[in-house]
Structure 1
Amino acid sequence: MTHLPQTAARPAGDSGKPKTRDPFFDNAKYLAIVLVALGHAWEPLRDDSRAASALYMLVYSFHMPAFILISGYMSRSFDLGRPGRVQRLVTGVLVPYVIFETAYTFFNRWAGDVPGYRISILDPWYLTWFLIALFVWRMTTPLWKAVRWPVPLALVIATAASMSDTVGNDLDLQRVLQFMPFFVLGLMLRPEHFDLVRRREVRLLSVPVGLMAAVVAYWAVPRMNAGWFYHRDSAQELGAPIWAGPVMTFAMFGCALVLTVCFLAWVPRRTMWFTVLGAGTLYGYLLHGFLAKGSRFWGWYDNDFAHTPLGAIAVTAIAAVIVTVLCTPPVRRMFRWTMEPKMNWLFRSDDGGGRGGSPAAEPAKAEQTPERERATASR
């Protein structure tokens, strides 16, 4: 097993030298996307099991924030002034968004038996919200690099969104705004911050913190609306008073950061068997959505066995295996035309910032390798 440098990855553009991929980030992306798939697999089990509901709430409290934070970190070198970067943003985020929004719509018509369901590019369905959110976040990156207090400003915007029930469904704007502080925080992070997270004392402290969080989640199951974790509705839409918006925004931001630190503290720093899968998390994220929704459409959870403890374990294992397979190189080669289209015919070729179909969108690929750059798992 080859051991690569354990220092945190630096985005391309920090120097003129090629950067070695840091396995830590690929490992983190793969493990995060597995948690996304597990959360979707556990959702139908929540009504019959308080333990499943607690695990669901625990995972939902940090898995997307962690994924988005890493996406922000990998976006540090994004520059609207470099056409090559913009090209990869379009081919790696915007084009896959249109393709999968369309594919999900037809899938919903066929498998979900919703004949009248219409394609709406402005109204993301299911998992595609993340792609349009990533597009918006990246386009606003220059703003966050220019202002004095980017994270507080992003939190103020997220708080305002949580208090407004007039924010429409266009581009899933509530989620874009409420998850934005995690992306902005990622933009502000440096390699040394990740070195601190991976210290031994942090790893040891994360164990009791994680256990305490699990206990709190179990206690909160009958007392808390899980809709808060989706960040897609305002306080009023969740049946809470308007002042709950800012309170929950800050509380959940803090909780997500603590649990993200606990998660990252236990991510392996060396090359593992699944490290290579970290480059394909966008594939696993988008493709597993067809099976996650199909399992509901086709009544896979109607079997009583699925709602037993042994059945829940089986469901968990199957979900982990499926999303793992969907991140593998053969699957990526098969679907690359949908997620990494070259589209050289659409763009000028006189840019030194890179061209072709290497998207800069999926947080499954570190930006330290420009020719393979790509950045992304919920509901």
Structure 2
Amino acid sequence: RAPTQLGAIRAASTGRFTIVLNSAGVAAVQRWVANPSTNHGIVIASASNDNRLELASREDAKANRPRLEVSWDAGGGGGGGPVLDPTPGTYRQTCDGSAGVALDFTHFLNLDDEDQGIRIYTRATSATPVQQLDVSSALGLATGDEADFEDAARVGNRIYAISSHGRDKDGVLALDRHRFFALDVTGTVPSARITVAGSTEQLLRDLLDADNWDHPDAAILAALEASAQLSRTSDPDLSPEVDGFNIEGLASLPSPTNPERLVIGLRNPRTSGRAILVTLENPAAVVAGATARFGEVVRLDLGGLGVRSLAWSDAHQAMLIIGGPPADVGAVRLFKWSGDLASAPVVVQDLAGPTGTAAEAVVPYPGTKDVQILFDGGARLVGGTECKKLSASAKSFTDLIVHVE
């Protein structure tokens, strides 16, 4: 026999326990519900396979056999849909889970801040990418450039992605980080087709021009200009971790009149301790060469933190936000926000990963209230060497599954 792993269970003693299903397990249960005769039994075994319980449908036909009733629910805390396999993945060839978008219930697309690679991984595995594509030339960059991809948002079969638009760590102007672009995805993994559908290098310049705003906010525009100062080639105080401009969040935020509207989240600057979000009203036109049109500013109270990642979750009908400090020291937290400009975000939990890593992206999946957190591990030490300085074959990043009500 060649059994298929359907999930995992941790039981320290007798009692009632829940098996956490992986994607194969969810599919199996759905198949059993639709056609009970396909359920030929399950095996519960330890990792070493030396302590196992087999449940086979043929046993129930014998009158004197004890019966075990197995029931299930949809998971996700009672009506939250299927659950994500909680097994942490080891995703190879890069150290940075800077941005992520779910392509289906099993695969996610990753962008990182060290190169221009687009990588597709199978969630909850230890593996190299299923598919990958370098988009350097399509964005007018050399392979050795560092566009500093920070976040991405899916709208239908299009994925919008954004770079930090910030300076380097020394405060030197880095125009290769000024990229906003679109990827069109067709087909299914492992044969998905990914194409760059357009890009712009002008987003920040458009942002600083009050004429491009539907509702310009003079105080915010002044703060943005002070943090960008594009006329200055170098200024240590304008490093992204000091006072410099830095985008790290991008998400879909559709309105009744504009289903393509996006929201951009800033790690820096903040205003009176609040994070700054800006709505982008015409992303499709922007990547086709039009001037960006911005709607309004949202000031969010994240307890003094800036935005590290944004993602709209259909399952929650809410925006999920990772908040963090301007520098890489301090608490990183997950928030949930209704998207209503008059409401405040609520803290879900602190996010702590392996030593030397920081939570960088939140990835919702369709039909579940479980979400995936990707970690940036560029500074993680591997044998005394920072991960980002290793060869591609030695690099990896990991993730965490979090349930959000």
The one of the two structures with greater contact order (alpha-carbon pairs below 8 A, sep at least 6) is: 1
TM-score normalized by the length of structure 1: 0.27
TM-score normalized by the length of structure 2: 0.25
Larger Rg: 2
**Greater percentage in helix:** 1
**Greater percentage in strand:** 2
